[in-house]
Amino acid sequence: MKRVFALALTLVMALSLAACGGSSDTPADDGGASESGDPVVRIGVFEPATGDSGPGGKQEMLGMQYANRETPTVDIGGTTYTVELVYADNGSTTDKAPTAAAELVSKDVSLVLGSYGSSVAMAGGPVFDEAGLAAIGVTCTNPQITAGNDYYFRICFLDNFQAQVLVNFAKDKFSAQKAYCLGELGNEYDQGLIAFFEQNFDGEVIKDSFPTNTSDFSTYLTKAVAEDVDVIFCPVSIAYATQIVKLAASMDLDIPLLGSDTLDSNMVLEAAQGSNVQLYVSTFYQEGGSPEFDDGIKAWLNEDSTAMTNNGGNDTIAAVTAMGYDAYYVALEALKAAGSTDPGAVKAALPGVTYDGVSGSIAFDEQGDAIRDTAYIKTADTANNAWALETVQTVE
């Protein structure tokens, strides 16, 4: 009863926001038909457009927006529908996420995509669960997102897998016996990955957590140097990663930095440009994996100034963008399989959906998690300001 009351209260708050204008990114209600006269099916986009995860959220949304531009309609039960993306900014915080989730519930969407950031996905998940609305996580990797929530699915690998990949790489590449792990205090994504890394690493692990809004990481990197560690693992947001990488460059740090999928960003890459920083990240996609997709989205970015800005100012393709693109098409497959725009029918169809995307083959296990066994390790080519593929790793 408490959960139902909490959902009702959150929905009232969301409707109040909508009455006051709502999100500037949310399209106006068109009465159920598009300009072409086709009926409309709405897909909710539950992503951070602001806050620490805003840059990553915008890049993830770019993939969905490009896919929607490329394929703006879908045939459902013999009828052609125009697909409308409906946005709700979860603000990168767990306190704003439930309201954003409830806003999407109130917008008559058939299913939801997102979020970038595991913490907000976990915070919004119960709202989708209570409303009977399926959500497809795109790059939110914490195992707890789908655990106990029948309505949350995901198309990315999980943190326990990602941590094992990075541990294996640290051992294979650097013969690492001592690691320094640094994450944001209270951040489910950071701390979850660090916990899995520690569990899988058979050497010594030194851990530190920094408070939210930290802007000086010198104490932490100085400690890593003093401890004479072999690698530094920092699975943090783009906002913090850029600061850490810039500081490492200014210190001429010779300890390799290992990052998770959040560090696969052109903004983080630019922070290392022209330096001797050794930066390696695990991720979902590497440019060249689908030349047709690469060429198409780069052309779009270069002709759309807003999209280019949201991508950090250049046309380097982030893996989260490729994942957002694939997530959109998985959503279309779910709608087609359901033969209906009804959220209950879409949820019932999702477990059986498969799709061959630019990031690989996508299918779901009994938990609703993606069946994935491969991760890409990329390194920063600091001389050419580009990501270079270091290796492809699988875990049995």
How does DSSP assign 195-213, residue by residue? HHHHHH--SEEEEEEE-TT
Give the model confidence (pLDDT) of 65-89 as tens digits: 999 999 999 999 999 999 999 999 9
List CB contacts of 118: < 8 A, sequence separation 6 or more.
Answer: 140, 141, 142, 144, 145, 159, 188, 189, 192
Query: In this structure, are strands 152-154 and 135-137 parallel, antiparallel, or unpaired?
Result: parallel
Q: Using CA atoms, how far apart are residues 118 and 114, in angstroms rounded to an integer?
A: 10
Q: Using CA atoms, how far apart are residues 248 and 222, in angstroms rounded to an integer?
A: 10
- Range of lowest pLDDT (23-37, 137-151, 272-286, 367-381): 23-37
Using CB atoms within 10 A of its CB, is residue 15 exposed (0-12), middle (13-18) or buried (19+)?
Answer: middle
Whether omega before 115 lies within 30 degrees of 0, making that bond cis, reads yes
Taking 50 as the threshold, does the pLDDT of residue 4 lie above it?
no
Task: Enter the pTM of the model.
Answer: 0.86
Which residue has tokens 């010779």? 254
- Please tell me the predicted confidence (pLDDT) of residue 195: 97
Q: What is the mean pLDDT of residues 144-154?
A: 96
Q: What is the mean pLDDT of residues 248-260?
A: 97
- Please tell me the predicted confidence (pLDDT) of residue 236: 96
| Residue 8 pLDDT level (bands cut at 50, 70, 90) | very low
What are the strands, taking DSSP E only, across the chain?
A: 40-47, 73-76, 79-89, 111-113, 135-137, 152-154, 178-184, 204-210, 231-233, 257-259, 279-283, 355-357, 360-362, 374-381, 386-394
Taking 80 as the threshold, does the pLDDT of residue 3 lie above it?
no
- Please tell me the predicted confidence (pLDDT) of residue 34: 72
Give the model confidence (pLDDT) of 9-42 as tens digits: 444 444 333 333 333 343 333 446 777 788 999 9
Give the model confidence (pLDDT) of 293-348 as tens digits: 999 999 999 999 999 999 999 999 999 999 999 999 999 999 999 999 999 999 99
Q: Could you tell me if 365 and 371 are in contact, meaning their C-beta atoms sit under 8 angstroms apart?
A: yes
